[in-house]
Chain A
Amino acid sequence: MTSTLHAEQTPFSFFTVAYLTRIGNQCARNLTEFLKGLEECSDASIFHHTFQTLESHHFLTEGFSNDFAQWVLASANRDELAEQLAALDVRDYLSIAELRSDLRRVVSSYCLKYPNYANQEALEPFYFCESVEVTEPVGLTVNSLQGFREGIERLSHASFYFHFISSRLRLHLRTNDFSVWLENSLGLDRLANQVNRIDVYTNTLDGARARLVRLIALEEKRA
C-alpha cells in the first residue's frame, strides 16, 4: 500500500463548477402534464431537477431528494407518489436516459392506479428548467494522499459536488472522481471503495466531506 503517486500516473486536478439555470418552455399543471414533461424535456432538464438540485439543497438531509418529488408533495399534494420519486437515488444511474425511464415509470403507474388524481390541478405549476455546466480549474493539483486531503478540505460545495456526485454521469460508472484517482493513481482500492459508499442522502455535503476527510486521515496514519 502506498500514499504517493506512481511515476506513470496522473496527479489529481481540482475543478470548480457553476450551474446556470436555463428556463425551458414547458410547464405542468397536473400529473398528466407532468408525465408528458418528463417524456419530452431535455436530458439537461432531468439533470437539473435531480442531480443539480442535490447540490443547491445540499444542506437538507430529511426527505428532500429532488425537485420532482418536492413538487408532487407540496403542490400536487400526492404523498405516496412523492415518496416513490424521492426514493430514486441518482447514484444508481449511469445515464440520464435510465433515470428518465424510471421517473416516467413511477409517475405513469401512479396515474394508471389513481386516474382521478391525474388531471387534478396542482397548487403551483411545475416549470421544467435546464442546467448549463460551466467548469474551471481551481488551480490546485496534488500528487500525494496528504495533499489530496488538504485539497478536499479547501473545496467549495460546488467543487466537492462536481467531483463526488456529478462525476458519475461523466464517468458512466458507479463511482466518482475521488475514488477513481485513489484506486488508479495511489492503488488504494479499499479506501476508494469506502469513499464511494458514503451516503449523500443521509448526509449533507459537508457531512459527506467530513466523513471522506476522516477516512483519508485514517489511511494516512496506516501508511
Chain B
Amino acid sequence: MTATEVAHRIPLEEYAPLLGEPEVAELRSLARPLRGRQVQMVNSTAVGGGVAEILNRLIPLAEELEIDIHWDVMQGGADFFEVTKSFHNALHGGTYASNAEDFAIFREYNKRNFDLVRHDAEFTIIHDPQPAGLIEARQGKAGHWIWRCHIDLSRPNSAVWNFLEPYVSKFDGAIFSSPEFSRQLPVPQYLFYPSIDPLSEKNRDLDQEFIGSVLKRFSIDAQRPILTQISRFDRLKDPVGVIRAYRIVKRYFDCQLVLAGGGASDDPEGAIVLDEVRKEADGDADIRILELPAWAPLEVNALQRASTIVIQKSLREGFGLTVAEALWKRKPVVASAVGGIPTQVIHKHTGLLAHSVEGTAYQIRFLLSHPEIANKLGEQGHKHVKENFLITQNLKNYLALMLLLCRCN
C-alpha cells in the first residue's frame, strides 16, 4: 500500500458561492468534534476510475476540516487485478467460472498488504471488493471499519459473493450507492449517493466562447435544438434506440442529435456497437457521432451545456452520474427509469422519465414544445443535485457517519 498525494486542491471556501456560506459553515460545525481524529481510506488505484476521482476531491476537503485523513492504495500484481476485474464483472451479474486459484490470489495479495494498515486509525474506510480482505488485519474490535461498495450488487454471481460476504460481514457497516444495489447483511447498511464535483473540469462553468468553439469543432449548429446523449458506445446505453427516438422527434422539429462517448477504441464490443450506431444513423447529416478520448472533461462539459435536452436512454444503468452532470447544468433531461436514474430524475419535477423509444420521443417533443416547462425542470434539477449529489454532501455523509460511530461507543 502506498500513501497517495492529492494532485489538485480546491479550498472549501470556493464552494461557498455555489452552495451558500451557511452550508459550508455547517460542514465546519459537523467536523469540529472530529478534529485530529485519524481516518484511513483504502482503495486499489490512485488514478482513473470514479473512486479515485472522488477521493482526490474528498481527501483535501477533509484535511481542510482538520481531520487527520490518509489515502492509501493497495498494491497488487497483474494477476491480482485480472482476478479482481473478473470478480467485478461477476458481481455485476456477468458469467464467472468458479476457480479456487482466483480466491487464493485474492487472499494472498490482501495478506501482503496487511502490514500497511494504520492500526492507530479510528476510522478505516475500505473501498470496493479489492481490499475487502484487509479486514483480517484488524486487531480485535479496534477502530471502526466501514466497507464502501461503489458497485451494483443486486444480481451478483453467487460464487464470488459467497466468497466476499464473510469479509464484508466482519465490518461495522457497509455503504451502498442505492438501496437496489445492496445485499442482506448482518451489519448496518447506509446509503451514500455518488456525487459530482461542481468545480471539476467536467462540471465547472465555461465561457460561451469555449462552448462555441467546441460546437464549431464538431460541426454542430448552435442555432437549432441539440439533443445529446453522453455515454460509452455500449448496447446497455441503447444508442440505437436514441436514434430511433430522434427520428420520431425529427418529424416535428428541425433538431440535431449528438451521441458522444468513448469506449470504442480499446473495447472490441464498443467498436461493434459504434458500427451499429453508424449504420442506424445512415448518413443523416444532423446526427453527430463523436468518439471522444477516455478523458475529455471540457468537451463533455461544453456539449452538455450547449444541449437543448440531454437524453439518457439506458436499458440498464448503475447510478448514471451523467444525469446529475446534466441536471447540475440546468438541462432538461429525458431518461429511462432504470438503476439510479429515478432517484435523480423525479418524474415531472426534475426531469421526465420514459420506458420506450416512443415514450422518449414523446417527452422530448413535449419539452421542445414547452420551453418554459423545460427551463423549470432544469432549474429544479439543478437544485436537486445541489442538495443531494454534490461532493460536499458526500463529505457531510462521512462526517455524520463518523460522529454516529463515535457516539455509539
A interface residue numbers (CB < 8 A to B): 16, 18-25, 27, 56-60, 62-64, 70, 73-75, 123-125, 127, 129, 132, 134, 136-139, 154-159
Contacts and interface: CB of A to CB of B under 8 A. Distances in A.
Interface in B375-392: 380, 383-384, 387-388
Interface residues of B, number: 40
Given A127-B179, A136-B32, A156-B22, A74 B342 contact: yes
Interface stretch (B244-252, B267-275, B398-406): B398-406
B36 interface: no
Question: For the complex, would chain B's binding face be called helix, strand, loop or mixed by DSSP majority?
Answer: helix
Contacts of B188: 22
Contacts of A138: 25-26, 29
Given A64-B349, A125-B180, A156-B22, A56 B387 contact: yes
B401 A20 contact: yes
B342 A159 contact: no
Contact of A156 (B23, B182, B184, B401): B23
B180 A127 contact: yes
A20 B384 contact: no
B396 A18 contact: yes
A62 B184 CA distance: 36
B355 A21 contact: no
B42 to A, nearest CB: 21
A57 B349 CA distance: 10
B29 A139 contact: yes
Nearest to B341: A124
Contact of B384 (A16, A59, A125): A59
A155 B184 CA distance: 38
B347 A134 contact: no
Contacts, number: 101
B404 A132 contact: yes
A13 to B, nearest CB: 12
A74 B380 contact: no
Contact of B25 (A18, A74, A75, A156): A156
A16 B26 CA distance: 7
Interface of B: 20-23, 25-26, 29-30, 32-33, 176, 179-180, 182, 184, 188-191, 337, 342, 346-349, 353, 355, 380, 383-384, 387-388, 396-397, 399-401, 403-404, 407
Contacts of B180: 125, 127
Nearest to B403: A134
Given A59-B387, A124-B342, A18 B22 contact: no
Contacts of B397: 18, 20
Contact of B189 (A22, A56, A75): A22
Contacts of B342: 74-75, 124
A127 B343 CA distance: 12
21 contacts: A18-B396, A20-B400, A20-B404, A21-B191, A23-B190, A24-B179, A25-B184, A56-B387, A57-B387, A60-B380, A64-B346, A74-B347, A123-B355, A125-B180, A127-B179, A136-B30, A154-B21, A156-B22, A156-B23, A156-B26, A159-B26
B400 A18 contact: yes
Contacts of B23: 156-157
A63 B191 contact: no
A27 B179 contact: yes
Contact of B388 (A22, A56, A123, A158): A56
A18 B30 contact: yes
Contacts of B400: 18-20, 132, 134
A163 B8 CA distance: 38
B129 to A, nearest CB: 18
A61 to B, nearest CB: 10
Contacts of B26: 16, 138, 156, 158-159
B190 A155 contact: no
A123 B342 CA distance: 11
Contacts of A136: 29-30, 32-33, 403
Q: Output the residue of A19, A23, A125 with the most chain B CB within 10 A.
A: A23
A134 B404 contact: yes
